[in-house]
Structure 1
Amino acid sequence: MTVVLWALRRIVVAAATVLAVGVLIFASVRLMPGSYVDVALGPLATAEQRAAAMTEAGLDQPIVVQFAQWIMGVVTGDLGRSFVSDVAIAEEFALRLPVTATVALGAIALTVIIGIPLGFLTALRSGRRGGGAGGRIVSALGISVPDFVLGGLVVFAVSSLAVGLSVGGYRSFDTDPAAFVSSLVLPTIVLAVPSAAITARNTRDAVMNVLVEPHIGAAVARGSSSWFIVRHHLIRNAMPPVLTLLATITATLLGGTVIVESIFDVPGIGAYLITALGRRDYAIIQAGVLLAAVVFIVANLIVDLVAAGLDPRLRGRRA
């Protein structure tokens, strides 16, 4: 199978996965306890009021028709309108996605800068005195502490100490660039801590697995320098699983940083979805979860293609 055919097959599989996820999202939203009409009108609404609300929201049509209309709208770029505010969801996403993306990409940058070198260092020092114990301890702590606990500790510390950073008080970049950056520094760091810890741990495991392979021993026997072995053998062979992990982390963060956005009062996609969930605003929930799924699938597709370029053996394994 040629590289082009293999890549096309991966793209077709990704598209089919998106469609399947769309079906699951549409069904799951409507199976949630408490419908939109129940939440919007309350228990004292009359049958006539409930029927009118159903008609206005388009929920009185057959479920298959509703799904077809939603999918056709998504394909054409129309994500629908909020049941509550009657505002186009695409417009809200256009305002909120840059905020979430800024926080997520900042966290990913810190994850790559800290996690991968820490993982390599811990693995390469495993046979020496101390055995990279410091790196393992840092990774374990970062993985163990939940986002909401770390976020709460950071909010408490910043509120108690004058460190020049703000909690809440978000300002758009156009209004106040300095305040924009200041308001997003803390949530970015809180998001990066567990991501960097997980990346460091997985990088260490990947490097350790490569170190025991025969070609590493052969390179050492030939007298190759440590830097040559790291550059030509370790990085190329250890990075595919790390890239897959980074794709998962990136997709998760871009899909919505719900807890951190709530703690730091950041008006991103995650906070928007939480509000919509409480109101049972199906259109927003569907669009938000589908966006997260598409980001996740596309990110993994890109990583598959990149990983296959680094290691051609993966094309035969995943074809």
Structure 2
Amino acid sequence: MRNYVIGRLLLLVPTLFGVSLIIFVIMRLLPGDVAVVALGGGQGVSEQQIQEYRRRLGLDRPIPVQYVEWVSGVIRLDPGRSLLTNQPIRDDLLNRLPVTMELAFGAVLLSVVIALPVGILSAVFQDRWLDYLVRVFSIAGLALPVFWVQTLVRNLILPKYVGWLPPPGYADPWEDFGKNLQQMWLPIVLLGYFQSAIIARMTRSTMLDVLREDYIRTAWAKGLRGRVVILRHATRNALLPVITLAAIQLGVLLGGAAITESVFALPGIGRYVVDAINNRDYPIVQAVVMLVAAIYVLLNLAVDLVYGIIDPRVRLA
């Protein structure tokens, strides 16, 4: 186990190196010039002023030199400063990451709590009214546009029919838990619904596959109680793909739930990186991508370790 964990952690180095190289090249290939954007689109600005601004930002140096300097900073946990605001990116990430983490963990936790029992019941009662209800629930969550539903609830249903809106911004839960709860419960519930639709569908599918296995038929034939067969034998073996899916969703949301953060005006990672892309603020985009890549690798490692706990047949070597 220890050697396996060490080996996987060592793989983090070449993985992040490859990601850093790819994102660095992609950002340099994007059309547009951050110096022009920062100077108001270039209107009323001379070419000499643009070149001087590029020199101050270090964008006039050779690309390999820029890459080496940036990677050196990342290794020191200092991904640099924003090209537009000159603010340290590390400070911005530390301020914004708790917002996205609360949103992501809350949504995934809620989705798992809802989707697991719903998906299991749907598989057990296949082709009955409960199964049809769950299928409608799942298909609606997959088909409806996230932005449209969240905007409809936030800007129409709540103010018109409920007479309430969540307070704008974000309050630290350690300083004002009540206000934080008012601000975060609605985006977590709405985002959690869309995630639960995916997990419920996966749970139903894997449960149906497991329930058709010979060892499940044998358990029924031996006269074991239905609860024992479903919970102890079927569910445990059906959980592995579901855990993988939940981890992937968590990684995606930790990378920034940009739509939800934009609709509810939450100062999270998603809005941060979208604004950076629009403004060609390379260091911010590169830092966020590196952060997401590291999160994905660590989540995959955690999933593999959980596999060994849930299913003893899985051996980590």
- TM-score, normalising length: structure 2: 0.92
Partner of 1:230: 230
Tell me, in whole angstroms, the C-alpha distance in 2 between the residues paired with 1:163 and 1:124.
41
Equivalent position amino acid for 1:142 in 2: G
Deviation at 1:173, TM superposition (A): 3.8
Partner of 2:9: 11
Tell me the secondary structure at the aligned position of residue 238 of structure 1: helix
User: Retained in 1: the 8 A contact 2:169–2:267?
Assistant: no
Deviation at 1:85, TM superposition (A): 1.4
Please state if 1:114 is matched with 2:95. no
Deviation at 1:222, TM superposition (A): 1.0
Equivalent position amino acid for 2:42 in 1: P
Equivalent position amino acid for 1:26 in 2: F
Tell me, in whole angstroms, the C-alpha distance in 2 between the residues paired with 1:295 and 1:27.
21
Tell me, in whole angstroms, the C-alpha distance in 2 between the residues paired with 1:61 and 1:120.
58
1:62-101 per-position Cα deviation (integer Å, ceiling 9, x unaligned): 2122112212211211121111111111111111111111
User: Retained in 1: the 8 A contact 2:115–2:196?
Assistant: yes
Partner of 1:142: 141
Equivalent position amino acid for 1:36 in 2: V
Equivalent position amino acid for 1:24 in 2: I
1:26-105 paired onto structure 2 within 5 Å: 26-41=24-39, 42-44=41-43, 45-105=45-105
User: Retained in 1: the 8 A contact 2:5–2:301?
Assistant: no
Equivalent position amino acid for 2:15 in 1: T
| Cα 1:304–1:15 shift into 2, 3 Å | farther
**Deviating more after overlay: 285-294 vs 248-257:** 285-294
Tell me, in whole angstroms, the C-alpha distance in 2 between the residues paired with 1:64 and 1:301.
32
Tell me, in whole angstroms, the C-alpha distance in 2 between the residues paired with 1:185 and 1:191.
10
RMSD (Å) for aligned C-alpha atoms: 2.0
Tell me, in whole angstroms, the C-alpha distance in 1 between the residues paired with 2:8 and 2:224.
38
| Cα 1:313–1:172 shift into 2, 3 Å | closer
| Cα 1:4–1:169 shift into 2, 3 Å | closer
Aligned residues: 314
1:232-269 per-position Cα deviation (integer Å, ceiling 9, x unaligned): 21122111100000000000111101011111111111
1:83-122 per-position Cα deviation (integer Å, ceiling 9, x unaligned): 1111111111111111111111110111111011111110
User: Retained in 2: the 8 A contact 1:151–1:190?
Assistant: yes
| Cα 1:160–1:306 shift into 2, 3 Å | same
Partner of 2:132: 133
Equivalent position amino acid for 1:118 in 2: V
Partner of 1:153: 152
Tell me the secondary structure at the aligned position of residue 181 of structure 1: helix
Partner of 1:271: 271
User: Retained in 1: the 8 A contact 2:173–2:180?
Assistant: yes
Tell me the secondary structure at the aligned position of residue 136 of structure 2: helix
In structure 1, the gaps of 5 or more residues are none
Equivalent position amino acid for 1:286 in 2: Q
**Deviating more after overlay: 230-239 vs 279-288:** 230-239
User: Retained in 1: the 8 A contact 2:123–2:205?
Assistant: yes
Equivalent position amino acid for 2:233 in 1: H
| Cα 1:144–1:281 shift into 2, 3 Å | same
User: Retained in 1: the 8 A contact 2:99–2:170?
Assistant: no
Residue identity over aligned pairs, in percent, reads 37
Tell me the secondary structure at the aligned position of residue 132 of structure 1: helix
Tell me, in whole angstroms, the C-alpha distance in 1 between the residues paired with 2:169 and 2:90.
25
Equivalent position amino acid for 1:83 in 2: L
User: Retained in 2: the 8 A contact 1:152–1:263?
Assistant: yes
Tell me, in whole angstroms, the C-alpha distance in 2 between the residues paired with 1:81 and 1:302.
32
Please state if 1:305 is matched with 2:289. no
Tell me, in whole angstroms, the C-alpha distance in 2 between the residues paired with 1:234 and 1:164.
44
User: Retained in 2: the 8 A contact 1:18–1:297?
Assistant: no
Deviation at 1:19, TM superposition (A): 1.9
Tell me, in whole angstroms, the C-alpha distance in 2 between the residues paired with 1:312 and 1:232.
13
Equivalent position amino acid for 1:21 in 2: V
Tell me, in whole angstroms, the C-alpha distance in 1 between the residues paired with 2:61 and 2:180.
44
Show structure 1 runs of 4+ deviating over 6 A.
none
**Deviating more after overlay: 256-265 vs 70-79:** 70-79
Tell me, in whole angstroms, the C-alpha distance in 2 between the residues paired with 1:11 and 1:173.
32
Equivalent position amino acid for 1:43 in 2: G
Tell me the secondary structure at the aligned position of residue 249 of structure 2: helix
Tell me, in whole angstroms, the C-alpha distance in 2 between the residues paired with 1:218 and 1:10.
38
